[in-house]
């Protein structure tokens, strides 16, 4: 497995940028995370019509933008014309849905690490994975500042086939019985899971097997206090300011 110690140099990763501080998965959200002192952000990449790649979480457009319809069917010109800020707060009116390329450039210009989550819902793994890997190959410079994650094992297996040097993270809501076999099949770097469903026994087994253990989405430090003692390496949080005590100034 890929075990480089210098990769994950933080205990706090911003979720969708910093989703409680600015509209999720926007450039403002990424900047807000950096302003709060984080060195890594998680964002979601979504395949839209005609092979476009944007930073977006939902299968439909209405929760986060002034648009409507199914995200996968939307054309790039339509999506980038939407307002992705006003529903969060009027202060962010005019904020856009970033393309993957815009996000990669923004994150690197801020010197941050990136956990890029490949969204597979209703998208074709065979289309999105090669497109994302190609974009990373051409536009992401430091492999030690990059983690690729997905709930979809097939997506991670395909990314491993395309480039076996990437740091891959298998996402789970509930950790299945055969997690070790799944992680081994992609030479995973990390297991990223829902902290509310993780048990101490599972956490210790993941650490004993040599993987990083990241937990989402923790917005209350007290709720994950015990998880640190179980071996959790980092939290993925909507509000990094709550975890400022874990951030190196
Ligand atoms: O990567 C952790 C977390 O982002 C996974 O869930 O639905 O927020 O993308 P979701
Ligand atoms: Mg995500």
Q: Within a domain: residue 3?
A: no
Structure tokens at 52: 């476009």
Q: How far is the CA of 3 from the centre of ligand 1 (A)?
A: 23
Q: How far apart are CA 206 and CA 15, in angstroms?
A: 22
* Mean pLDDT for all residues in the chain: 95
Q: How far apart are CA 246 and CA 243, in angstroms?
A: 6
Which phi and psi (to 5°) does residue 41 adopt?
Answer: -130, 150
Condensed to tens digits (0 to 9), the pLDDT of residues 191-216 reads 999 999 999 999 999 999 999 999 99
Res. 108 pLDDT band, cuts 50 70 90: very high
pLDDT attached to residue 6: 66
Nearest CA residue ID for atom 2, ligand 1 = 216
Do the Cβ atoms of 201 and 177 come closer than 8 Å? no
Q: How far is the CA of 15 from the centre of ligand 2 (A)?
A: 7
Q: How far apart are CA 56 and CA 93, in angstroms?
A: 17
The continuous run of DSSP H or E covering 191 comes out as strand 190-194
Condensed to tens digits (0 to 9), the pLDDT of residues 152-177 reads 999 999 999 999 999 999 999 999 99
Which is the closest atom of ligand 1 to the Cα of 16? 4
Q: Within a domain: residue 213?
A: yes
Q: How far is the CA of 28 from the centre of ligand 2 (A)?
A: 17
**How many helices (DSSP H) and strands (DSSP E) are in the chain?**
8, 9
Query: Does ipTM top 0.90?
Result: yes
pLDDT attached to residue 1: 52
pLDDT attached to residue 5: 62
Nearest CA residue ID for atom 7, ligand 1 = 57
Condensed to tens digits (0 to 9), the pLDDT of residues 22-32 reads 999 999 999 99
Res. 9 pLDDT band, cuts 50 70 90: confident
- Count how many residues are written for the chain: 249
Q: Within a domain: residue 6?
A: no
Integer distance in angstroms from the first to the last C-alpha of the chain? 31
Do the Cβ atoms of 40 and 114 come closer than 8 Å? yes
Do the Cβ atoms of 219 and 247 come closer than 8 Å? no
Residue 48 burial (10 A CB sphere; 0-12, 13-18, 19+): buried
Structural domain containing residue 36: 12-246
Res. 124 pLDDT band, cuts 50 70 90: confident
Q: Which of 220, 209, 219, 214 is nearest to 182 (CA)?
A: 209
Q: Is 23 helix (H, G, I), strand (E, B) or coil?
A: coil
| Residue 121 confidence (pLDDT) above 80 | no
Q: How far is the CA of 173 from the centre of ligand 1 (A)?
A: 9
Residues contacting ligand 1 via CB (< 6 Å): 15, 42, 44, 57, 117, 149, 171, 192, 216, 236
Q: How far is the CA of 57 from the centre of ligand 2 (A)?
A: 7
Q: How far apart are CA 112 and CA 141, in angstroms?
A: 12
Structure tokens at 61: 């457009």
Which of 13, 19, 25, 42 gets mutated to test ligand 1 (max ligand atoms within 8 A of its CB)?
Answer: 42
Res. 111 pLDDT band, cuts 50 70 90: very high
Which of 15, 59, 152 gets mutated to test ligand 1 (max ligand atoms within 8 A of its CB)?
Answer: 15
Q: How far is the CA of 41 from the centre of ligand 2 (A)?
A: 10
Q: How far apart are CA 145 and CA 107, in angstroms?
A: 10
According to DSSP H, which parts of the chain are helical? 27-35, 76-79, 100-109, 125-139, 153-162, 179-185, 200-208, 225-230
pLDDT attached to residue 123: 62
Nearest CA residue ID for atom 10, ligand 1 = 57
pLDDT attached to residue 249: 74
Q: Within a domain: residue 107?
A: yes
CATH number at residue 193: 3.20.20.190
| Residue 142 confidence (pLDDT) above 60 | yes
The continuous run of DSSP H or E covering 172 comes out as strand 167-172
- State the total domains in the chain: 1
Q: Within a domain: residue 45?
A: yes
């Amino acid at each position: 497995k890929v075990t480089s110690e210098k990769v994950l140099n933080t205990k706090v990763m911003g979720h969708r940028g910093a989703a409680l501080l600015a509209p999720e998965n926007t450039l403002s959200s990424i900047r807000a995370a950096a302003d709060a002192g984080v060195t890594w952000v998680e964002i979601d990449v979504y395949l839209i019509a005609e092979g476009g790649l944007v930073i977006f979480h939902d299968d439909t457009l209405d929760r986060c933008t002034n648009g409507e319809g199914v995200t996968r069917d939307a054309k790039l010109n339509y999506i980038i014309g939407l307002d992705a800020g006003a529903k969060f707060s009027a202060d962010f009116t005019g904020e856009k849905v970033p393309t993957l390329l815009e996000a990669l450039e923004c994150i690197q210009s801020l010197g941050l690490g990136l956990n890029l989550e490949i969204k597979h819902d209703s998208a074709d793994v065979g289309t999105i994975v090669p497109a994302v890997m190609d974009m990373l190959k051409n536009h992401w410079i430091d492999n030690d500042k990059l983690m690729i994650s997905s709930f979809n094992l097939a997506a991670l297996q395909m990314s491993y086939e395309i480039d076996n040097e990437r740091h891959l993270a298998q996402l789970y809501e509930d950790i299945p019985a055969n997690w070790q076999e799944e992680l081994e099949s992609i030479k995973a770097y990390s297991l990223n899971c829902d902290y509310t469903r993780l048990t101490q026994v599972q956490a210790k087994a993941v650490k004993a097997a040599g993987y990083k253990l990241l937990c989402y989405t923790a917005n209350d430090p007290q709720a994950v206090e015990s998880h640190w003692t179980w071996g959790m390496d980092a939290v993925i949080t909507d509000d990094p300011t709550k975890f400022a005590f874990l951030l190196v100034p």
